[in-house]
Amino acid sequence: MPLYNSSSGYGALTKALHWLVVALFAFQFAAANIMLRLDGDATAMGMGQSTYYNWHKSIGLVALLVAVLRLLARRQGALPNWAPTLSGRERAFIHRVEQVLYAAMLAMPVSGFLYVTAGGYGVNLFGVWEMPNFIAAWPSLATAAKWTHIFSAYVLVATLTGHVGLVLWHTLVLRDGLIWRMLPRRNG
C-alpha cells in the first residue's frame, strides 16, 4: 500500500492518521465527561479531576498536531476517486461533512487551548511541563472560546453521526464494502 493517497485509494498515512484521530477523540469525549462530573476529592479509575483535565488538555494538543499532519498528508498525491456506489447526493453530502470534520478537528483543540490560556488556567503538559501562558488573562476571550469549544463538540457529534451512519449504511446494508476504503491492505 503506498504511503500517500492516489486516485485508486487512500494511502497508509491517511488511514493511520484517520484511526489515530478516532482514538484520540474517543479519549477526549470520555475524559471530558468524567472531568466535568467529578468533584472535590472524588476519583474515577484511580484518578482525580485535575489529572483528567491535564490529560484532556495534553491529548487535545496532540490531536491538534495530528490534524495538521493529516491536512498536510492530504495535500500529497491525488484524492481517491469516489466509490462507484455513492450517489451524486451522497457525494455532495460527504464533501460537506469532510469540510466540517476538518474544521472541527482544528476548532476543538484551538478553542480549548484559548479557553484555558485566556482564562488563566494554563496547560501542564502530561503533568511534566507547565507551558508558558502567552496570553494575559482575558475573560471575554475565555468565555467566547469556551462556548466555541462546547458548540463545536455538539456540531462534531452531529456531523460524525452522519459520517459514520453513511459508512455503516453502505457497509452493512448495501454491502458494498465502503469501510475497506479506510482499512489496511485494500485500496479502491
CB 88 within 8 A of CB 26: no
CB 150 within 8 A of CB 173: no
CB of 43 to ligand HEM, least distance (A): 18
User: Which residues are at the interface with ligand HEM (CB under 6 A)?
Assistant: 14, 18, 21-22, 25, 28-29, 32, 36, 56-57, 60-61, 63, 74, 83, 98, 101-102, 105, 108-109, 112-113, 115-116, 123, 146, 149-150, 153, 160, 163-164, 167-168, 178-179, 181-182
CB of 48 to ligand HEM, least distance (A): 15
CB of 89 to ligand HEM, least distance (A): 15
CB environment 52-63: b (16+ within 10 A), e (fewer)? bbbbbbbbbbeb
Closest CA to 183 of 4, 8, 2, 11: 11
DSSP states of 16-30: HHHHHHHHHHHHHHH
User: Alpha-carbon distance 14 to 5, whole Å?
Assistant: 7
CB of 92 to ligand HEM, least distance (A): 13
What 3-state DSSP class applies to 42? coil
User: Alpha-carbon distance 158 to 187, whole Å?
Assistant: 28
CB of 10 to ligand HEM, least distance (A): 7
Looking up cell 503506498 gives: 2
Q: Which is nearer to ligand HEM, 21 or 44 (CB)?
A: 21
